[in-house]
Amino acid sequence: MIAVTVAVAAPFGAALLSMLPSQLPVRRIVGSVLAVIAVALALGALPQLDPLSALCVTLISVLSLLATLYSVSVFPPVELEATPWSGRRAYFVLLGAFWSSMLIAVTSTSFIGLWIGISATTLATTFLVGFSGGKAALEAAWKYLMLCSFGIAIALIGIFLLGHAALTAHLAPAVALSWDTVARNGGRLSPELARVALLLMLLGFGTKAGLVPMHSWLPDAHSKAPAAISALLSGLLVSCALYAIVRVQHVAAVVAPALFNDALLVLGSLSILVAATLMLAQRDIKRLLSYSTVEHAGLVAIALGLGTPLGEFAAIYHILTHAFTKSLAFLAVGVVQQERGTTTIGKLHGLWNDASGKFLLAALVGLTGLPPFGIFVSELLIVLAAAAAHQWAALACAVTGLLIAFIALARLAIDTESGTRVARSGEHRRRRAAFLVLGCATAVALLLAVIPFVSPIANGRALTLALGLR
Amino acid sequence: MVIGLILLSAAVLAIDSRLRTALVAYASFTAATLWLAFPHPSTPAEIAFVATLSILKLVVGPLAIVMLVRRYQVSEDLAPSLGLAWRLLIVVVTLAAAHAIRQMTALNDIPSAGVVFYAVFASMMIVVLHRNLLAHVIGLLMLGSAITLAGAVFAPDLPGAIELAGTFDAVIATLLALSIARALLAFDPRLDIRSLRELRG
């Protein structure tokens, strides 16, 4: 317990400590070293967590470290009308707070702790979304705050109602909101009240995951935030919200499996179709990638809604592959933005000639679901799981959405990567650390195609599930 | 009486578009929800909690709004986004929705469930029905009160539930909303959301 608490507090503490040295180069070194120590502490706490929490802690730690190192190298530009929180110190403190709050969410064993973590992310990220201080960034931050506040408030009402149902069933107050306890005693809960509670929780956490129709904040917030924050919002925050839905489903599987799974299938199908269609209309790379996040969240919701072991495995696997590939895409776009001074698709040509363009292309190939990236395997598993579960309508929506998204991403890749090289209008300095981060993210996105099937941690379970199509 | 005050003040907030009236209605709404949530605080911890929330919600929040208005000459018109007839209709629909929820079998054994949902719907209603960002701040403050009420009504015996709701109320609604509203003043002193339509989610 102490190891987990230390691991959770470490990123925020590290961010605060790294602010102490007055000279920027020293602060950079101290900050980077402390971030690595925070990751080491988190990995040290893994044996005390259940497998899903351990997986999420690893994901959060690795990606947050990469985003921190990237931010040291590529610090986001600030507009003239900077807000009080638009400084370097505030940025890293908020980043540390964001990192810690995500760890709170995934290391908790009760819905209350999970909710505290998820809502704490709102605190840190609202300011990070509006970091540049520009009008559009503040508008995005405002929209994010309004919609996510209502979302997490609805989730909290659901949690209170579940607590009421648990207490009425004479569960001990101290463990009344622990998902294991509630799931074990699911039969004793009032089914009507538990259903209402679980649906409210799905609605609330679904808002944070950006599922349609509660998605409208996501493309704005993810596209207006600094690149490293966009990477964490799309790669991790959405994953944390989906993790929350997995935990809610853990209880729903006992109390109201059919209703909950149907709701997930509907939300997932809507998300993938609407987001993929809107991807076709985007003129800005970051907005297009943000809609792609909604599409992938929808795909995960469909996989979870299948209610089969293979569906659940594919969903968690897809969360992992998407997190790395989407983060890679946003981080590469961040370098492109600094080099070319824009993210407008029509103004970017010949990116293939630059290293950042090559990384962006790798990410786009991954996001389209082509081999040899991990997303290819996870999407294939989701399609197979849907077919095995005979969920033909959801399968049709998923395949249609994937095809439309493929067209949008392929068009983006062709438009931006081909053509003659345009003279750079942005900054020209070297960014070794940023390219090292991009290289690491690409390597993991590729390796994830095989890791779950050969890893001793999975112990052959992944392969059995995939081959047995259960 | 207390429930009547909640219903009336939320309706006034939806219908009237003057900031002063809105602040009075908001104060009545918050005082009534706090009264309903904590009718008889007995232990010192409870009294301290209620006192802190009351100061924050009834003094700090409204005072910060008044200071923003005076210092930056913000418009005191909350700029309703719909005509009066439509606003009245939405109030009636909200009341009907809360009543329908109250009738659900699942919530039969929770006496004030309908009021909680009405309070949540009302806070959403204020946001949707006005274009001035100060109305949105008031909506978030009301949401905070509604959540505190939800904690007290749905899970009074759940350890930490009410404190959690109160913290959400204080931090998210009051601090964050006011900070962003203050930052947005640099772009539009009227705080009208029509000037914030560059992004199309």
Q: What one-character-per-residue DSSP string does A89-103 give?
A: HHHHHHHHHHHHHHH
Q: What is the tens place of the pLDDT at every residue in B71-130?
A: 877 777 888 888 889 999 999 999 999 888 888 888 888 888 889 999 999 998 998 888
Q: A234 and A330 in one domain?
A: no
Domain boundary among A253, A279, A297: A253
Residue B185, chain A, CB below 8 Å: the answer is no
| Chain A contact set for B147 (CB, 8 A) | 153, 156-157
pLDDT recorded at residue A228:
93
What's the alpha-carbon Rg for chain A, to the nearest Å?
21
The answer to whether residue A282 neighbours chain B at the CB level (below 8 Å) is no
pLDDT at A424: 60
Whether B179 sits inside 8 A of A195 (CB atoms) is no
How much is the pLDDT for A462?
Answer: 58
Residue A81 has pLDDT above 60, yes or no: no
Note whether A115 contacts B143, CB cutoff 8 Å. Answer: no
Residue A331 has pLDDT above 90, yes or no: yes
- Whether pLDDT at A31 is above 80: no
In the block, tokens 């109602």 appear at A161
* Residue percentage of chain A with pLDDT more than 70: 92
Nearest-CA distance from B71 to chain A in Å? Answer: 18
Instruction: Identify whether residues A183 and A75 lie together within a single domain.
Output: yes
List chain A residues with CB under 8 Å of B160.
Answer: 112
Q: Are A208 and A120 members of one domain?
A: yes
Nearest-by-CA chain B residue for A191: B106
pLDDT at residue A225 is higher than 70? yes
More confident residue, A180 or A76: A180
**% of chain B with per-residue pLDDT over 90:** 15
The domain boundary, picked from A253, A277, A301, lies at A253
Assess whether A237 and A267 both reside in one domain. Answer: no
Residue of B nearest to A122 (CA): B172
Question: ipTM value of the model?
Answer: 0.91
CA distances from A167 to A108, A193, B78 (A): 20, 12, 43
Strand partners, A344: A284
Give yes or no for residue B161 having a pLDDT over 80.
Answer: no
What's the rounded mean pLDDT across residues A343-371?
89
Do residues A236 and A286 both lie within one domain?
A: no
Segment holding B65, helix H or strand E: helix B61-72
* A225 shares its domain with A267: no
Query: A147: distance to nearest CA of chain B, Å?
Result: 10
Respond yes or no on whether the N-terminal peptide bond of residue A372 is cis (omega within 30° of 0).
yes
User: Residue A350 carries which side chain, given as an amino acid letter?
Assistant: G
Q: Minimal Cα–Cα distance from A55 to chain B, Å?
A: 28
Record: contact A157-B150, CB cut-off 8 A:
yes
Both A204 and A56 in one domain: the answer is yes
Structure tokens at A376: 């290819």
Q: Give the least confident one: A236-245, A380-389, A424-433, A447-456.
A: A424-433
Provide the pLDDT for residue A338: 87
Calpha distance A441→A459 (Å, rounded): 25
Residue A381, pLDDT > 70, answer yes
Where a domain ends, among A253, A269, A286?
A253
Least confident span in A238-252, B2-16, B187-201 = B187-201
Strand, coil or helix: what is B77? strand
Q: Are residues A433 and A313 in the same domain?
A: yes
Q: Which two tokens stand for residue A324?
A: 């790395």
Most confident of A126-140, A269-283, A422-436: A269-283
Q: In A, which residues are within 8 Å of B154 by CB distance?
A: 157, 160-161, 163-164
Q: How far apart (Å, rounded) are the C-alpha atoms in residues B142 and B29?
A: 8
Angle at which helix B2-15 crosses helix B19-37, to 10 degrees, equals 150
Is B161 part of the contact surface with chain A (CB cutoff 8 Å)?
yes
pLDDT of residue A299: 96
Question: With an 8 Å Cβ cutoff, is B201 touching chain A?
Answer: yes
Contact B154 A195 (CB under 8 A): no
Q: Is B95 on the interface with A (CB under 8 A)?
A: no
Of B133, B176, B196, the CB nearest to A126: B176
Residues of A within 8 A of B157 (CB-CB) are 167, 173
pTM reported for the whole predicted model: 0.92
Q: What DSSP character marks residue A421?
A: P
Place of tokens 């931050």: A141
Q: State the pLDDT confidence band at A61, using cuts at 50, 70 and 90.
A: very high
pLDDT at residue number A423: 62
Tens digits of residue pLDDT in A137-157 = 888 888 898 899 899 999 999
pLDDT exceeds cutoff 80 at A73: yes
Long-range contacts (CB closer than 8 Å, 24 or more residues apart) made by B111-117: B111/B153, B112/B3, B112/B36, B112/B149, B112/B153, B113/B153, B113/B154, B115/B3, B115/B6, B115/B36, B115/B149, B115/B153, B116/A157, B116/B146, B116/B149, B116/B150, B116/B153, B116/B154
Mark whether A56 and A204 lie in a shared domain: yes
CB B49 within 8 A of CB B161: no
Which of B136, B151, B183 faces A160 most closely, judged by CB atoms?
A: B151
Q: Does A220 touch chain B (CB under 8 A)?
A: yes
Query: How many domains in chain A?
Result: 2
CB-nearest to A142 from B157, B161, B196 is B196
Quickly list H helices, A238-371: 238-255, 257-279, 285-305, 309-340, 355-368
Q: Are A264 and A229 in the same domain?
A: no
Mean pLDDT of A448-468: 62
Shared domain check, A282 and A171: no
Determine the structural domain holding residue A273 and report its residue range. Answer: 256-470
Average pLDDT over residues A101-129: 91
Q: Are A177 and A306 within one domain?
A: no
**Chain-chain contact of A160 with B150 (C-beta, under 8 angstroms):** yes
User: Could you tell me where the DSSP H helices lie in A108-226?
Assistant: 111-129, 135-168, 179-184, 191-209, 217-224
Check residue A470 and give its pLDDT.
Answer: 45
Sort out which chain B residues have CB atoms less than 8 A from A153's CB and list them. Answer: 120, 143, 146-147, 168
Q: How far apart are CA A319 and CA A373, in angstroms?
A: 14
Summarised one tens digit per residue, pLDDT across range A245-300 is 999 999 999 988 899 999 999 999 999 999 999 999 999 999 999 999 999 999 99
Cβ-defined contact of B201 to A167 (cutoff 8 Å): no
Contact: B201, A84; criterion CB under 8 Å: no
Tell me whether B163 touches chain A (CB under 8 Å): no
Facing A143 at nearest CB: one of B107, B150, B201? B201
Bridge partners of A178, per DSSP, are A110
User: With an 8 Å Cβ cutoff, is B136 touching chain A?
Assistant: yes
Across the interface, whether the CB atoms of A81 and B168 are under 8 A apart is answered no
Angle CA(B122)–CA(B127)–CA(B132) in degrees, nearest 5?
Answer: 140
Average pLDDT over residues A120-132: 88
Neighbouring C-beta atoms of residue A414, cutoff 10 Å? 11
Across the interface, whether the CB atoms of A163 and B161 are under 8 A apart is answered yes
CA distances from A359 to A115, A346, A376, A429 (A): 35, 19, 18, 18
B199·A167 Cβ contact <8 A: no
